[in-house]
Chain A
Amino acid sequence: DQQVKQNSPSLSVQEGRISILNCDYTNSMFDYFLWYKKYPAEGPTFLISISSIKDKNEDGRFTVFLNKSAKHLSLHIVPSQPGDSAVYFCAALRSSGANSKLTFGKGITLSVRP
């Protein structure tokens, strides 16, 4: 039962253009949504998050949008840079004290062409 879905396995964009990475979820009880970035042979690193009570969060070139009615979130990267080429994981957090845990999607590989 995949509660967090990233249906597109890959995305290729031109340097300087916008990258839009999509994510869908099924559980309306999630409290936070996050994006993690992963380079080859490294662990995932936190990129940006959004609370379930917000619809937008921006941090420099990265913006996450949340549409709760559609159970959909997206990560916008603008302008895209070659160094953004990585695997991006969408994740959702159900906060329950010590039992809190993140549920991850299977990632999308972003390639930014110079």
Chain B
Amino acid sequence: DTAVSQTPKYLVTQMGNDKSIKCEQNLGHDTMYWYKQDSKKFLKIMFSYNNKELIINETVPNRFSPKSPDKAHLNLHINSLELGDSAVYFCASSQWGLGTGELFFGEGSRLTVL
């Protein structure tokens, strides 16, 4: 009964391909996020959704398209993959407004673009 689960854990693909990562949370949270951890190890926010509505879009290339079919799911689709997209992508959820800052993360999806 994992609180935030994301699939797949690992993706290896060629440049130019399209891939998707799925995320689901069973915590009843209203807000979900995608974070990217690149080779420099920084965790950077990409998107946040509140109850299916896009709230934060941190100047991510439009090849990245999040989709939230309902407030428990936030999927990430990436078109025309580039080498620089290789990273670990973390899904997370929180109560509305982040409260005192507690995020609940999934285990991460490691994307390798060859």
A interface with B by C-beta (< 8 Å) = 2, 32, 34, 36, 41-46, 49, 51, 89, 91, 93, 95, 97-102, 104-107
Alpha-carbon gap, A102 to B50, bound state (A)? 15
Q: Given A43-B90, A43-B92, A44-B43, A102–B105 Cβ distance below 8 Å?
A: no
| A109 vs chain B, min Cβ distance (A) | 9
- Check B98 against A95 for contact (C-beta < 8 Å): yes
B interface with A by C-beta (< 8 Å) = 4, 9, 31, 40-45, 48, 50, 55-56, 90, 92, 96-98, 100-108
Across the interface, B105 reaches (CB within 8 A) one of A41, A43, A97, namely A43
Chain A hits for B105, CB < 8 A: 43-45
- Check B42 against A42 for contact (C-beta < 8 Å): no
- Check B43 against A89 for contact (C-beta < 8 Å): yes
- Check B42 against A102 for contact (C-beta < 8 Å): no
* Most chain A CB inside 10 Å of its own CB: which residue of B41, B43, B101, B105: B101
- Check A41 against B108 for contact (C-beta < 8 Å): yes
